[in-house]
A and B are shown apart, each in its own frame.
Chain A
Amino acid sequence: MTLRADGVTRAYGDEVVFRDVDLRVPQGEVVAIIGPSGVGKSTLLRLLGLFTPPDEGSVAVDGTDAWSLPTDDRLALRRRVGVVFQEASLFDASVARNVEYGLRVRRSWRERVHDELRALVGTTELPDTARDALDVVGLADYVDKPADSLSGGEAQRVAFARALAYDPDFLLLDEPTSDLDPRNTAVIEDAMTAAAERDIGVVVATHDMNQAQRVADRVAVLLDDSVIESGPADRVFENPRDERARKFIDGELVY
């Protein structure tokens, strides 16, 4: 199963962010999109996450063009993709309520009302997948803590667990560690690798070349409104074909 963008173009008004971009995300691999700030990495992730349609081209999950489907069917595809943003964006509730959010919205309304009533009485059990996800980021003991009592790094780890909890096929991470200290960064990077080992296709947008080198199996370099280089991480980092990509990777090209 793959998540793929074929020839996608996105513009805001007259300003083209990128054009004719191809990207293929197989399950079980980490794909890093690298490029300077403001180049459109977030926009590309929003296309892959099926937030917005591309102006041209298509985004397909497992061969199905998502935007050719009616909203309800597209929802089913969207629900196989998890997204973590640069900001943790936690809900103002306990860690448990945050982590089980994705599972909750997938239940029927009848079950959800039932669960809410049980939560009022105070007898809820965190589902196993949600507990596992918290385990992956090392915060299994944090279940009952209110989200607003967490540090920035802990909050981002909860955000990661929240996207992992419903066992998605793909996980999109937009600069997930740019605000974090080295220790929390390491936890998130390990979690990415762990997710890929669970056969999840991971996409991480980052401007941190070292991070891309540490975690990525494949790399796409997004520069000057298109993907100028892509391929296996080792090959791209050691022997980039495109001159601009080489300069960017070597840090000679500063944006």
Chain B
Amino acid sequence: MVAVLAALMPLADVVSTLVQAAAGPLFVEFPFERTYVLSIIYVSLYVSLSAVALSTLFSVPVALVVGFTDFPGKRLVKAAINTGMGFPSVVVGLVVLFAVSNQGPLGELNLVFTKEAMIMSQFVLATPPITGIALASVTGVQADVRDAAFALGGTRLDVALTVVKEARYGIATAVLAGFGRAISEVGSVLIVGGNIAGSDGVSKTRTLTTAVQLEARQGRYETALVLGAVLLVLVLAVNAVVVRLGDGGQMR
């Protein structure tokens, strides 16, 4: 057994030299850099996309209800949405941390320093801008278009779906704004996620933003720059996809 391993050692050396030559200097300096960066991208996307998806499912119906029905406290709800848009993320992080801590109401679930806790805090942060912008765009749909949907035999649900369809560009903008807030946010994910990466170089709760902050502080500017560039490219790519989706109805 030992003899076999000894015989393989030179071979392993050759392979590793070849890999390093091919992969370039970044991956030579830190053997686990590739895994490291990929796992950070994964955590960032997983957390932000989940938070924004959940928030959209929550926000659009809320915008429809607030936009088209009357109920006591409606002005208060609108005021809360507007205030929420400027809510400081560190405070949200702190509140979510208290909620999921052992003494908190969600303590049983053991969510401290997990992606799920990060999704919760990004949900709270993304919901006000998504609801607010979606509200503005659904109330911008003319009353006569809603009447037409109803007059043609639509149920209340059909009318609501038609309004969402008519407001699709505005809603796409809302989702983008929410995603922008979620993915570029540092404070709350740092507090509830803890910026954790394992000793094997795989991110557990480290996102692009918290990683850039950490790398910059440690003086590893090159890695920080790469991560920052990746963050920019991601935001641009998601923008492009959402704009293209919002355009779908127009192209037909």
Chain A residues within CB distance 8 Å of chain B: 49, 51, 75, 78-79, 82-83, 85, 87, 89-94, 97, 101-102, 105-106, 119, 146, 159, 162-163, 166
Contact = CB atoms under 8 A, between A and B. Distances in A.
B199 interface: no
B153 A102 contact: yes
Interface stretch (B105-113, B140-148, B235-243): B140-148
Interface stretch (B25-33, B154-162, B171-179): B154-162
B166 interface: yes
B152 interface: yes
Nearest to A163: B152
A91 B151 contact: no
Nearest to B155: A75
A51 B152 contact: no
A81 B103 CA distance: 60
A92 B147 CA distance: 14
Given A91-B166, A92-B166, A93-B252, A85 B152 contact: no
B165 A91 contact: yes
Contacts of B153: 75, 78-79, 102, 105-106, 166
Nearest to B169: A92
A101 B249 contact: no
Contact of A162 (B152, B158, B165): B152
Nearest to A93: B249
7 contacts: A83-B148, A89-B145, A91-B162, A91-B165, A119-B252, A162-B148, A163-B151
Nearest to B162: A91
B250 interface: yes
Contacts of B99: none
Contact of A166 (B147, B150, B152, B162): B152
Contacts of A101: 149, 152, 154
Contacts of B144: 85, 87, 89
Nearest to B159: A105
Contacts of A49: 151
Contacts of B165: 91-93
Given A75-B155, A92-B166, 11 more contacts: A83-B147, A83-B151, A85-B144, A90-B148, A91-B162, A92-B249, A94-B252, A101-B149, A102-B152, A105-B149, A119-B252
Given A92-B166, A93-B249, A93-B252, A85 B148 contact: yes
B47 to A, nearest CB: 29
Nearest to A96: B252
Residue among B148, B151, B250 with the highest chain A CB neighbour number at 10 A: B151
Closest 5 CB pairs of A and B: A83-B151, A79-B153, A89-B148, A102-B152, A89-B144
Contacts of A83: 147-148, 151-152
A49 B154 CA distance: 13
A91 B158 contact: no
A146 B145 contact: no
Contacts of A106: 153
A79 B158 CA distance: 13
A67 to B, nearest CB: 16
Contact of A91 (B145, B150, B155): B145
B135 to A, nearest CB: 19
Contacts of A162: 148, 152
Contacts of B149: 91, 101, 105
Contacts of B147: 51, 83, 85, 89
Contacts of A79: 153
Interface in B150-203: 150-155, 158, 162, 165-166
A146 B251 CA distance: 9
Contacts of A87: 144
A114 B147 CA distance: 26
A159 B148 CA distance: 9
A85 B42 CA distance: 52
B151 A82 contact: yes
